[in-house]
Amino acid sequence: MKIGLYFGSFNPIHIGHLVIANHIAEHSDLNQVWFVVTPHNPFKNKRSLLDNYQRLEMVYRATKDYNKLKPSDIEFSLPQPNYTINTLTYLQEKYPDYEFALIMGEDNLKSFHKWKNYELILENHDLYVYPRISKGDIETQFHNHNKVHFIDAPNMELSSTFIRKSIKAGKNVRPMLPEFVWEYLDEMNFYK
Ligand SMILES: Nc1ncnc2c1ncn2[C@@H]1O[C@H](COP(=O)(O)OP(=O)(O)OP(=O)(O)O)[C@@H](O)[C@H]1O
Ligand SMILES: O=C(O)c1ccc[n+]([C@@H]2O[C@H](COP(=O)([O-])O)[C@@H](O)[C@H]2O)c1
């Protein structure tokens, strides 16, 4: 079984995330995509984050009707900030028969050389990289790397930051979120 891990804060999960994950689950050799909800991204400030379980709940609601997409709380019990290498080591021990690959946008590949032990990640895992409009260049070491696979996927330029700011300003964000997520968010008065 080959699993694609899609790491993120998902604060909140939006249709940009869902479209990518579903596209990759349907059009690659991956059997499932797991949305790994990260309690604390080492590169991001924790202040604007909703509680872990509320972000997990939104991912659960967004994916419950897709049998190849699963929410994962695996990082909740691991030391913070969450370095991806630690999570991969833990997952590989817990599921020795599964093969784990990483899914990321081109924006993340541009800073991938700053991730903890990124060479070790690449030794043991494939990276599936989808197009994303962003500044900067991809390091040459990743251009023809046998573990880095550039794949095609629909491009939707949305961000959770834009959604949070829009909600705060009283704007309607409903079409940018999976319907079950919008209902939950609205009911809970998140980001207001
Ligand atoms: N619109 C999008 N289309 C495709 N991938 C996206 C999109 N938005 C974010 N991603 C990717 O999804 C993963 C998780 O993203 P994250 O939860 O940080 O969302 P975000 O929208 O970038 O959040 P924020 O605006 O809070 O920084 C990252 O790999 C990120 O590059
Ligand atoms: O392991 C690292 O050094 C590392 C550094 C930056 C980011 N990450 C992971 O990458 C994921 C996506 O990053 P971001 O910035 O797009 O939200 C995030 O959830 C982190 O788990 C991991």
What is the average pLDDT value for the chain, to the nearest integer?
96
Taking residues 151-156, report their average pLDDT: 92
Pairing outcome for strands 2-8 and 32-37? parallel
Selecting from 3.40.50.620, 3.40.228.10, 1.10.287.3240, 3.40.50.1980, what CATH number does the domain 2-157 have?
3.40.50.620
* Side chain identity, residue 59: V
Residue 97 has pLDDT above 80, yes or no: yes
The per-residue pLDDT for 77 is 96
Nearest ligand atom owner, CA of 12:
1
Residue having the nearest C-alpha atom to atom 31 of ligand 1: 105
Ligand 1 pocket test target in 18, 75, 159 with most atoms within 8 Å of CB? 159
Q: CA angle 132-121-147, nearest 5°?
A: 60
Write the pLDDT tens digit of every residue in 69-85: 999 999 999 999 999 99
In terms of residues, how long is the chain? 192
What percent of the chain has a predicted confidence (pLDDT) above 70? 100
Tell me the two tokens of residue 69: 């997409």
Domain range annotation of the chain: 2-157
Protein residue whose Cα sits closest to atom 14 of ligand 1: 8
Taking residues 173-181, report their average pLDDT: 98
Confidence of residue 28 (pLDDT cuts 50, 70, 90): very high
Q: Has residue 46 got a pLDDT over 80?
A: no
- ipTM of this complex prediction, to 2 decimal places: 0.94
Distance (Å) from CA 9 to ligand 2 centroid: 9
* CA distance readout (Å), 112 to 8, 15, 76, 105, 163: 14, 24, 22, 11, 25
- Asked if residue 19 has its Cβ within 6 Å of ligand 1, the reply is no
**Nearest Cα to Cα of residue 66 among 26, 101, 37, 104:** 26
Ligand 1 within 6 A of CB of 108: yes
Q: Is the CB of 9 under 6 A from ligand 1?
A: yes
Question: Does 173 score more than 80 pLDDT?
Answer: yes
Handedness of CA 180, 162, 186, 58 (dihedral sign): positive
In this prediction, residues 149-173 reach a mean pLDDT of 95
Integer Cα distance of 112 and 104 in angstroms: 10
Picking from 128, 114, 98, the residue whose alpha carbon sits closest to that of residue 23 is 128
- Residue 87 CB less than 6 A away from ligand 2: no
pLDDT in tens, 112-131: 999 999 999 999 999 999 99
Q: Is a pLDDT exceeding 80 seen at residue 16?
A: yes
